[in-house]
C-alpha cells in the first residue's frame, strides 16, 4: 500500500491536468489499494452539484469515457451529503440506508470522502462494495490520504492555470501597447510635420514681409529720383536706397547665420582678449560701461573672430535695450569641465568635454516664461516696429552651433536675464581642471 502511495506521490508531479488527475487516481491508486470500485465526482463552481468525472471497476467498462455521467445535487444521497458537510461517510449496510441512490450494480456498503481545497469542495471520492461492512478506519485513512494528495495537486494546477492566464493577459496587454505605441509615433510624426510646415510658413511670411518693405524703399526712392528733373534731394534718396540695401544684406546674413550656412573661418584665440577689445570699443562708441569678470588661464577656443564680435554685439545690445534707464551689462568668462555625472547642469545638446563659458547678464526686465521658448526663433521680437528685427538671437544660436557650442538663456520676469555661451575648448589646448 505504501508503495502505491509513494508511486502516486512521484507520478503526481507529471500529471498535466485535473482530468488526468481524476482518472489516474481512480484507476491507478484506488484501484490498486484493494478497493473494488471507485467513482470520483467533480463539484461545480457554484458548489451546488457533483458530476461523475472518473471511474474504475465494473461501473466503467469503457476505459476513460463516462457515458451519461451521473449528476447529483449537493445534499442528496451519500455523495451529496459528503459534499455538503465536507465530512467523510461510511455506510455499513446500504439496504438499511434511506440515502442510498441505487446504481446499476448492487452494493451493500459504501465509503465516501470529500476533496476539500482552499475552503472549497472540489469533489468527492466514492467506493462501494458488495459485502456488508467492507470499510473501516483503515480504508478511511487511505482514502483521506489520497484525497489530501489530490487536493495539493489540484491547488498547484489551479495556480499554474492562473499564472498562465496572467501571462496571456500580459502578452495581450503588451501587444496592445505595441499597437498603441505605433499609432502614437505615427501621430507624433504627423504633428511634427505640421509643426514644421507651420514654422516654415511663418518664417517665409516674415521674411517676405521684411524684405518687401526694404525693396519698396529702394524702388520708391529710385522712381522718385527718375521723376525729379533737377535731382533735388537726390542725395537723401540715395542714402535711403543704400540704407535699405544694407539692411537687406544684413537680413540675409542673419538668416544664413541662423541656418548655420555662414562661411566661418575659426581661429584659436584667447576669448578674454577679444572681450576686452570689444568692451573698450563699445564703451567708447556708446558711452555705456560694461563690467567684466574674466577668469584667469582661460582655455583657448576655436571661433571666427568676426562672428564672435557680432555675437557679443547682439547680446550686449539686447542687455542695453532691456535696461533703458541705465545699468551696465556684465560679461563673465570661466572654464567648464563638463562630465557625464554632472550633465544635468549643462545644456542637454552638449556632449561632455571642456568648454569655455561666456555669460552676458543684465538687471533688466527679464523674459516672460511664455517667451523663453521663442526668443531664438527668427523674427521673434517684443520690441516696437522699427526697433527690433528679431534676428539677433537667431543669428547667435546659429553661430554658436556652427562653432560646436550652443547658447542658453536663463531669466525670470523682472529679475534680469543671463545668456550663457558655451565654446568648445580648442583641441590640444593646455588644460587644467578648473
- Considering the complex, state which of residue 279 and residue 319 has its C-beta at the smaller distance from ligand ADP: 319
Helix (H) or strand (E) holding 191: helix 137-227
Q: Which three cell numbers, joined as nine digits, stand for 11?
A: 507520478
Residues 349, 408: Cα–Cα separation, whole Å? 11
CB of 376 to Mg ion, least distance (A): 11
Residues 340, 346: Cα–Cα separation, whole Å? 10
- Considering the complex, state which of residue 392 and residue 424 has its C-beta at the smaller distance from Mg ion: 392
Pattern of binders to Mg ion over 383-402, x per CB under 5 A? ---------x----------
Q: Residue 362 binds which entry of ligand ADP, Mg ion, none, with Cβ cut-offs from 5 to 8 Å by kind?
A: ligand ADP
- Considering the complex, state which of residue 235 and residue 325 has its C-beta at the smaller distance from ligand ADP: 325
Report the residue number whose CB is nearest to Mg ion: 392
CB of 294 to ligand ADP, least distance (A): 20
- If one asks whether residue 378 binds Mg ion (CB under 5 A), the answer comes out as no
Q: Residue 401 binds which entry of ligand ADP, Mg ion, none, with Cβ cut-offs from 5 to 8 Å by kind?
A: none
- Considering the complex, state which of residue 94 and residue 395 has its C-beta at the smaller distance from Mg ion: 395
CB of 333 to Mg ion, least distance (A): 22
Q: Residue 383 binds which entry of Mg ion, ligand ADP, none, with Cβ cut-offs from 5 to 8 Å by kind?
A: ligand ADP
CB atoms within 10 A of CB 38: 25
Residues 203, 200: Cα–Cα separation, whole Å? 5
CB of 185 to Mg ion, least distance (A): 38
Grid cell 527668427 — which residue?
378
Q: Which three cell numbers, joined as nine digits, stand for 356?
A: 569655455
Please list, residue by residue across 349-378, b when 16 or more beta carbons sit within 10 angstroms of its beta carbon and e when fewer do: ebeeebbbbbbbbbbbbbbeeeebeebbbb
335-354 positions binding ligand ADP, by CB under 6 A: none
- Considering the complex, state which of residue 29 and residue 396 has its C-beta at the smaller distance from Mg ion: 396
The single residue among 52, 127, 310, 318 that binds Mg ion, judged by CB under 5 A, is 318
Output the furthest CA–CA distance in the chain (Å, rounded).
Answer: 146
Sort residue 293 into left (φ over 0), alpha (ψ -120 to 50) or beta: beta
Residue 112, phi then psi, degrees to nearest 5:
-145, 125
Residue 176, phi then psi, degrees to nearest 5:
-60, -45
Residues 346, 339: Cα–Cα separation, whole Å? 10
Q: Residue 117 binds which entry of ligand ADP, Mg ion, none, with Cβ cut-offs from 5 to 8 Å by kind?
A: none
Calculate the CA 249 to chain-centre distance.
Answer: 47
Listed ranges 76-84, 132-140, 313-321, 400-408: which one lies at the site for Mg ion (CB under 5 A): 313-321
Q: Residue 417 binds which entry of Mg ion, ligand ADP, none, with Cβ cut-offs from 5 to 8 Å by kind?
A: ligand ADP
Q: Which residue, among 326, 261, 248, 247, has the nearest Cα to 287 in the 3D structure?
A: 326
- Considering the complex, state which of residue 109 and residue 319 has its C-beta at the smaller distance from ligand ADP: 319
370-429 positions binding ligand ADP, by CB under 6 A: 371, 375, 380-383, 388-394, 417
- Considering the complex, state which of residue 109 and residue 394 has its C-beta at the smaller distance from ligand ADP: 394
279-338 positions binding ligand ADP, by CB under 6 A: 314, 318-319, 322
Q: Which residue, among 24, 27, 55, has the nearest Cα to 39 in the 3D structure?
A: 55
The single residue among 362, 397, 400, 421 that binds ligand ADP, judged by CB under 6 A, is 362
CB of 314 to Mg ion, least distance (A): 6
- Considering the complex, state which of residue 288 and residue 371 has its C-beta at the smaller distance from ligand ADP: 371
Residues 360, 355: Cα–Cα separation, whole Å? 16
- Considering the complex, state which of residue 114 and residue 392 has its C-beta at the smaller distance from Mg ion: 392
User: Residue 405 to residues 296, 305, 356, 432: CA-CA distances in angstroms?
Assistant: 21, 15, 9, 20
CB of 385 to ligand ADP, least distance (A): 11
Contact assessment for residue 260 and residue 402, using Cβ atoms and an 8 Å cutoff: yes
Residues 6+ positions from 151 with CB-CB distance below 8 Å? 115, 116, 117, 122
CB of 359 to ligand ADP, least distance (A): 12
CB of 286 to Mg ion, least distance (A): 14
Q: Residue 389 binds which entry of ligand ADP, Mg ion, none, with Cβ cut-offs from 5 to 8 Å by kind?
A: ligand ADP
Residues at the interface with Mg ion (CB under 5 A): 318, 392
Residues at the interface with ligand ADP (CB under 6 A): 314, 318-319, 322, 362, 364-367, 371, 375, 380-383, 388-394, 417
Amino acid at each position: 500500500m505504501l508503495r502505491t502511495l509513494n508511486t502516486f506521490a512521484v507520478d503526481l508531479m507529471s500529471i498535466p491536468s485535473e482530468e488526468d488527475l481524476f482518472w489516474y487516481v481512480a484507476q491507478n491508486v484506488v484501484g490498486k489499494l484493494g478497493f473494488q470500485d471507485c467513482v470520483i465526482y467533480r463539484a461545480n463552481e457554484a458548489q451546488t452539484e457533483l458530476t461523475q468525472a472518473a471511474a474504475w471497476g465494473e461501473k466503467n467498462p469503457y476505459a476513460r469515457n463516462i457515458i451519461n455521467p451521473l449528476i447529483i445535487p449537493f445534499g442528496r444521497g451519500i455523495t451529496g451529503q459528503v459534499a455538503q458537510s465536507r465530512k467523510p461517510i461510511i455506510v455499513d449496510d446500504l439496504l438499511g440506508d434511506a440515502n442510498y441512490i441505487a446504481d446499476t450494480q448492487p452494493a451493500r456498503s459504501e465509503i465516501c470522502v470529500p476533496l476539500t481545497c482552499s475552503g472549497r469542495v472540489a469533489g468527492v471520492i466514492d467506493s462501494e462494495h458488495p459485502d456488508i461492512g467492507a470499510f473501516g478506519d483503515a480504508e478511511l485513512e487511505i482514502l483521506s490520504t489520497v484525497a489530501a494528495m489530490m487536493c495539493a495537486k489540484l491547488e498547484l494546477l489551479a495556480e499554474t492555470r492562473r499564472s498562465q492566464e496572467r501571462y496571456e493577459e500580459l502578452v495581450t496587454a503588451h501587444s496592445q501597447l505595441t499597437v498603441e505605441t505605433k499609432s502614437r509615433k505615427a501621430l507624433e510624426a504627423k504633428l511634427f510635420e505640421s509643426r514644421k510646415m507651420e514654422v516654415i510658413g511663418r518664417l517665409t511670411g516674415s521674411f517676405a514681409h521684411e524684405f518687401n518693405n526694404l525693396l519698396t524703399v529702394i524702388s520708391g526712392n529710385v522712381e522718385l529720383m527718375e521723376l525729379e528733373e533737377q535731382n533735388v534731394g537726390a542725395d537723401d534718396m540715395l542714402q535711403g536706397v543704400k540704407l535699405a540695401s544694407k539692411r537687406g544684406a544684413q537680413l540675409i546674413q542673419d538668416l544664413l547665420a541662423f541656418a548655420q550656412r555662414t562661411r566661418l573661418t575659426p581661429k584659436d584665440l584667447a576669448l578674454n582678449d577679444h572681450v576686452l577689445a570689444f568692451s573698450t570699443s563699445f564703451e567708447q562708441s556708446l558711452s555705456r560701461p560694461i563690467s567684466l569678470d574674466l577668469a584667469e588661464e582661460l582655455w583657448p577656443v576655436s571661433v571666427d573672430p568676426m562672428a564672435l564680435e557680432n555675437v557679443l554685439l547682439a547680446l550686449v545690445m539686447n542687455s542695453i535695450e532691456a535696461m533703458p534707464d541705465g545699468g551696465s551689462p556684465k560679461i563673465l568668462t570661466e572654464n567648464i569641465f563638463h562630465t557625464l555625472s554632472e550633465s544635468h547642469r549643462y545644456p542637454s545638446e552638449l556632449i561632455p568635454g571642456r568648454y569655455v563659458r561666456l555669460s552676458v547678464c543684465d538687471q533688466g526686465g527679464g523674459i516672460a516664461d511664455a517667451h523663453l521658448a521663442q526668443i531664438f526663433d527668427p523674427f521673434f521680437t517684443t520690441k516696437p516696429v522699427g526697433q527690433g528685427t528679431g534676428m539677433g538671437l537667431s543669428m547667435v544660436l546659429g553661430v554658436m552651433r556652427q562653432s560646436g557650442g550652443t547658447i542658453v538663456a536663463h531669466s525670470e520676469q523682472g529679475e534680469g536675464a543671463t545668456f550663457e555661451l558655451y565654446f568648445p575648448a580648442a583641441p590640444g589646448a593646455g588644460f587644467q581642471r578648473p
